[in-house]
Amino acid sequence: MKEKIKSLSTYKKKAPKIPPFTCPKIDSIIEILERHKEREKIYSKKSLKTLIAKLEKLRQSNESLRESGIYWYECFKNVLNSIPKRKKKKRKY
């Protein structure tokens, strides 16, 4: 029995959400670190907590992106495996 090939929209509905662009978060953390370095300031508990929270959000975004990549890779494999393989014709010389 042939398996029906799903449409792209069917796969998209089940896909994990792609996280927002993370470069602004990285830039923000770098900016904070540079400001502290310029002032030769030691990190307060509050600023350290803020940096850690931003890094944790970045970790979650990267994890979501990784999960999304795995999901789409598996979908692609399923589609390729559902396409009937053609028999190779022997060449006559």
DSSP, res 93: -
Tally the domains of the chain: 1
Higher local confidence (pLDDT), 82 or 91: 82
Residue 90 included in any domain: no
Nearest 5°: the CA angle 34, 35, 41 is 105
Residue 36 included in any domain: yes
Residue 50 included in any domain: yes
Rounded to two decimals, the pTM is 0.55
Short-list 59, 63, 62, CA closest to 51: 59
Nearest 5°: the CA angle 73, 77, 79 is 115
Helices and strands: H and E segment counts in the chain: 3, 0
Give me the domain span that covers residue 69.
19-81
Residue 91 included in any domain: no
Across all residues in the chain, what is the average pLDDT? 79
Residue 64 included in any domain: yes
Weakest mean pLDDT among 8-12, 18-22, 54-58, 63-67: 18-22
Residue 8 included in any domain: no
